[in-house]
Structure 1
C-alpha cells in the first residue's frame, strides 16, 4: 500500500469536506491538549482518500505523529484473533457449538455465582456448558477486571487475572478462570470480557503453535502487515507512541512511556488486547475484510465464513441494548448487534449515526477505532493513545464527518 497515493476525488469524496476531519480533530482535541496526537485514514474502492495526522506520538519528547507511528490497538486485536480462530474452523478442527471443555478439560463443570465474594462464593451449576460460539459473541459469562460492577470482576482484580506481569502466560489465566464462577450461565446475556483472550489460548491448543506465530503465519505475513506484533522490535521503538490516560481531574498524563514500555519483553500474549500496529497495517486488514476475506491475491478467510462472522448473532436478532449487562464496552448498545468478533450496525436510525446497515467494527481501550462498510466499499482507521476510550465520542464524530464528505 502506497500511503503517498492519496486521491479523494478518485475515491468518490469531496477533498474539501474530508479536510474537516483534520480541522476538527486538531482544533477540538490536539490544540486543547485533550489528546497528544492522532492519525486518521479513509479508504474507499481500494483508493486511499485521506490520511492526516496531528499532534505528537510522544509529548514528553516532542516527537510528532508520523504515518508509520506504532500504536497500542488494545481491543482492535479481537477481530484479528477471531478471524484467526475461524481459519481453524474452516479446516474442520472444531465447531461453533463444541463445548469449550473439549479443549480446556478443567472447565467442564463451570459454575455461576449466586452470592458471596472472593474467595468464598456461593455458586450453582451453569445451565449448560460454555460453547466456543459463546466466547466469540461475548455471551460466555466471563467478564473484565476493569468493569468495577460485580464481585466477579473484583475477584479478577484481586487475582490480577490477565495482567501482563513478567512471567504470566495464557496458561496461568486459564487456570485462574477455572477457579472462579461465571457472571451468568453461557448464552443468557452479553458481557464484554476476557473471552477473546481465551480464544487466543484455543488457537494455541488447536493449532499447536504459539498465538504470535500463528497470527504471523496466517494473517500478518500474507497481508504484508510487517509492523503488527505483541512486542516492539528494536527498529520499531523510535516510532512507538507513548500512551496517555485521562485522570480524575481531566488531565492527560503519561500512562506508558514508549521508551520504557511494559510492552517490551512480554510473556502474556493477549488475544483480547495485546497487539501493536500501524495505520497502514490495519488498513491492510480492512482491505482483506472488504475483499470478502481476500486481499492482494491472498485469501485469509472464506467469503461465506466472513459473512457468518459479521452477521448479528444475538438472540432473536436483538441489539445490545436489550441483552447486554450494564458496563463498559467498545460500542454503543442502541441499534448495534454482535457477531463472531465484530459489532455490526443493524439499525442506523436507532444508533443515531450514518454508517450503513451491515457495516461492522470495533475499537480499543486507548481510543483507537476502525469500521468497514461493505455497501460503500469503505474502511476507516483512527489511531490515538488515550485511555479510556469512553472519554470522547470519536466514532460518532468521525462517522458524521466521513459520510458527509461522500460525493
Structure 2
C-alpha cells in the first residue's frame, strides 16, 4: 500500500473528532474454514509462516514499519472463541516515553465514537426492561424537549425568521440513529455551531495542549446541564427525516440517568462493564494504569506529532461529564468482550448481560421509514443503536483510527486499534473491513 503524504486534513476540531463510519463490512460470506481459523494465535508482525489474515498482517506491518503510526493492533474472533491477534509497535514512538513498551491486548486506547454502540446497548437494556420505549417521545423523560423549533435552512440563521415548529416529537429511536435533528459542533457550520460552542455543548476532548485550530470551548459540567442547554437551541432538521451525525448519543446518557435512577457512568459500570468482564474501560484513566496507556498523535504534513501523551493525557482528568458519544478509553481485550457479548446475543462466558431481543433489535436497522442519508458518509447503510448496520453486521469507528464490528451471519468479530488523528489522514480505518473480507475470501478458497 503506497504511503500518502497528507498535509490535509488539518488539525481542526471538525477533522479531529469526526469518527469514521465502518463501510462495507456486512454480509461476510458464510462457510468459513473453522478448524483453520478458530485456533488461538497471537502473533507479532514478524514473518510467521502461513497464518490467517495475510492482507491485514501485511497492512499492519507496512503502517508500523514505515512509521505512519506508533502501533497497530487487530483482533479476530469467531463465536465465543479466543481472538487471534496481529500487532506491532509500541505505546509511543521510539525515543518517547512508552516507546520501548510493545502494545498488547491490554494496552489502553482512546476509542472515541466506538463509545456510541456501548451507550446504544445500554439504552436497549432499559427498553428491554420497559423503562424506555423505542418510539417513546424524548419529552416523556426530558420535558424540556417538548416544543422544539427547527431550522428551515439547515445551518442557517437561528433567529425566528429561520425557525418552524417540529412536526413530530423526538423519540428514543431518533436519538439512537442520529435522526433526531440535533446538531454536532464538529459537523454543523455557522450560527448553530457557534451556539453549541458558546453554550458548552462540547461532548468530547482531545488534549490538555493548546492545539491551534482546535477551539473546543469549555464544556458544561454535567449531563443535566448539557441536556437543559441543548433543549434551548433549535434542531437542524425535522425529527425522523435526515440522518445527520449528532450529539444524540451524549444526550442519551442523560436519558439513561433519568430512566435508571443512576449516574450514567455508574450504570455502565454496574450493568455492562462489570457483568461483561470489561475491567479496563474508563472515562478517566486511573494513574495506576498509565504504564499501559498509548500516546495519541496528530498527522500533519506526513509527520506524527504527539497531541496527547499518555503521561499528561487529558484522559487522566475527570471529564466535564461522561461523554456517551465519544468519551471512553478501552483495551482491545475489553472491546472484544463487548463484541463477544453481542455475538452471544447478550451472553458471555455463560452469563447473561442483556436480553437476546435487546441485542437483536439494537443491532438491526432502526432508521425511521423514509429517512434520507443522501450526501452523508452513511451512504446506503442502515443504522442501529449507535452503530452502522450492513447486512447482518454492526459496528462503528472512532476519531483516532479505531474500528470494530460484529457479523452475526458468520459469528466473526473484528477490531482495529491504533492512535492517530484525524482518522481520515490514512485509509486504514475505512479500508479495514475490505481487508478483512479479502482475507475471508482467501480462507474460503483454501478450505
In structure 2, how many angstroms separate the alpha carbons of the residues matched to 1:148 and 1:102?
Answer: 27
Deviations, residues 217-259 of structure 1 (Å, cap 9, x unaligned):
1111111111011111122111111111223x34322221111
Report what 2:341 is aligned to. Answer: 288
Contact 1:41 / 1:380 at 8 angstroms: preserved in 2? Answer: yes
| Corresponding residue SS for 2:152 | strand
| Corresponding residue SS for 1:188 | coil
Report what 2:268 is aligned to. Answer: 215
Report what 1:25 is aligned to. Answer: 60
| Corresponding residue SS for 2:38 | coil
Quote the offset at 1:49 in angstroms: 4.9
Contact 1:11 / 1:45 at 8 angstroms: preserved in 2? Answer: no
- Structure 1 residue 333 and structure 2 residue 385: aligned? no
Contact 2:202 / 2:219 at 8 angstroms: preserved in 1? Answer: no
| Corresponding residue to 1:268 among 317, 321, 337 | 321
Contact 1:42 / 1:50 at 8 angstroms: preserved in 2? Answer: yes
| Corresponding residue SS for 2:91 | strand
Report what 1:375 is aligned to. Answer: 409
Report what 1:193 is aligned to. Answer: 246
Deviations, residues 155-183 of structure 1 (Å, cap 9, x unaligned):
32344412455772212221221221111
Report what 2:201 is aligned to. Answer: 161
In structure 2, how many angstroms separate the alpha carbons of the residues matched to 1:121 and 1:175?
Answer: 23
- How big is the alpha-carbon RMSD for the aligned residues of Structure 1 and Structure 2? 2.4
Distance change in 2, residues 1:15/1:141 (3 Å) = farther
Deviations, residues 304-329 of structure 1 (Å, cap 9, x unaligned):
2221112212344x7xxx822645x5
Report what 2:36 is aligned to. Answer: 9
Contact 2:299 / 2:420 at 8 angstroms: preserved in 1? Answer: yes
In structure 2, how many angstroms separate the alpha carbons of the residues matched to 1:113 and 1:76?
Answer: 29
Distance change in 2, residues 1:177/1:52 (3 Å) = same
Q: How many pairs does the alignment contain?
A: 380
Contact 1:170 / 1:269 at 8 angstroms: preserved in 2? Answer: yes
| Corresponding residue to 2:170 among 120, 130, 143 | 130
Quote the offset at 1:358 in angstroms: 1.0
Report what 2:387 is aligned to. Answer: 342
TM-score normalised over the length of structure 1: 0.86
TM-score normalised over the length of structure 2: 0.79
Quote the offset at 1:50 in angstroms: 2.0
In structure 2, how many angstroms separate the alpha carbons of the residues matched to 1:289 and 1:33?
Answer: 34
- Structure 1 residue 302 and structure 2 residue 351: aligned? no
Deviations, residues 131-189 of structure 1 (Å, cap 9, x unaligned):
11110111000121112545423432344412455772212221221221111110011
Report what 2:17 is aligned to. Answer: none
Report what 1:225 is aligned to. Answer: 278
Distance change in 2, residues 1:89/1:183 (3 Å) = same
Report what 1:236 is aligned to. Answer: 289
In structure 2, how many angstroms separate the alpha carbons of the residues matched to 1:309 and 1:130?
Answer: 18
- Mapping 1:38-77, distance limit 5 Å: 38-59=72-93, 60-61=96-97, 62-63=99-100, 64-77=102-115
Contact 1:293 / 1:303 at 8 angstroms: preserved in 2? Answer: yes
In structure 2, how many angstroms separate the alpha carbons of the residues matched to 1:168 and 1:257?
Answer: 24
In structure 2, how many angstroms separate the alpha carbons of the residues matched to 1:118 and 1:252?
Answer: 39
In structure 1, how many angstroms separate the alpha carbons of the residues matched to 2:406 and 2:125?
Answer: 20
Greater RCO, 1 or 2 (C-alpha within 8 Å, sep 6+):
2
Stretches of structure 2 lacking an aligned partner (at least 5 in a row): 1-33, 41-48, 206-217
